């Protein structure tokens, strides 16, 4: 199955979570070696086992944003096919940002895994404990996790 990182979204305003994830993936791909946009797209598809792909309409604006942030640099060169192409390279600042984003992603994905692996226990709870469980507060430390709170809903677990 092939999954688009921006599928079913208004392309003019991707969610922070999707944009941050795309940024991290692009930074990681460019950490391997400098490459042009087409090669970045192909490498992402390849290393994800043909699961992830990014459209040109999302890729090039994202690369431009990363360049504006100072996380990558771009230089026009001739490709192996004899065509002019913009080659992107990770900067020191980009490497630091990648480390930060990868750490955040690790914490977030670990937290989500813990939630997904929860055993269903609500049926055995009394009405008072069920209400307390359903209205529990969720603290969020970063924007990536905040996006998941929005996706999951503010009501907390147990609301039906």
**Is the overall model pTM greater than 0.95, yes or no?**
no
Q: Which long-range contacts (CB under 8 A, 24 or more apart) does 78-81 make?
A: 79/36
> pLDDT for 89-124, tens place per residue?
999 999 999 999 999 999 999 999 999 999 876 655
Diameter of the chain measured on Cα atoms: 71
Using CA atoms, how far apart are residues 152 and 80, in angstroms rounded to an integer? 46
Which residue ranges form the domains of the chain, and what is each CATH number? 3-117 (1.10.10.10), 126-160 (no CATH)
pLDDT at residue 147 in the model: 45
Question: If pLDDT is split at 50, 70 and 90, which confidence band does 15 have?
Answer: low
For residue 136, is pLDDT > 90?
no
Strand 84-90 versus strand 72-78 pairing type: antiparallel
Using CA atoms, how far apart are residues 71 and 159, in angstroms rounded to an integer? 41
Q: What is the mean pLDDT of residues 8-37?
A: 81
For residue 65, is pLDDT > 50?
yes
pLDDT at residue 158 in the model: 42
């Amino acid at each position: 199955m092939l999954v688009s990182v921006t599928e079913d979204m208004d392309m003019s305003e991707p969610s922070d979570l999707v944009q941050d994830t795309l940024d991290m993936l692009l930074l990681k791909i460019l950490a391997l070696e400098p490459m042009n946009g087409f090669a970045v797209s192909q490498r992402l598809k390849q290393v994800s086992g043909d699961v992830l792909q990014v459209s040109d309409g999302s890729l090039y604006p994202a690369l431009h944003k990363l360049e504006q942030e100072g996380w990558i640099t771009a230089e026009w060169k001739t490709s192996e096919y004899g065509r002019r192409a913009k080659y992107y390279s990770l900067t020191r600042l980009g490497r630091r940002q990648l480390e930060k984003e990868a750490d955040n992603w690790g914490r977030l994905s670990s937290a989500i895994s813990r939630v997904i692996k929860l055993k269903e226990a609500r049926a055995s709870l009394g009405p008072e404990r069920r209400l307390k469980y359903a209205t529990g507060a969720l603290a969020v430390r970063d924007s990536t996790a905040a996006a998941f709170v929005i996706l999951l809903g503010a009501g907390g677990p147990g609301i039906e």
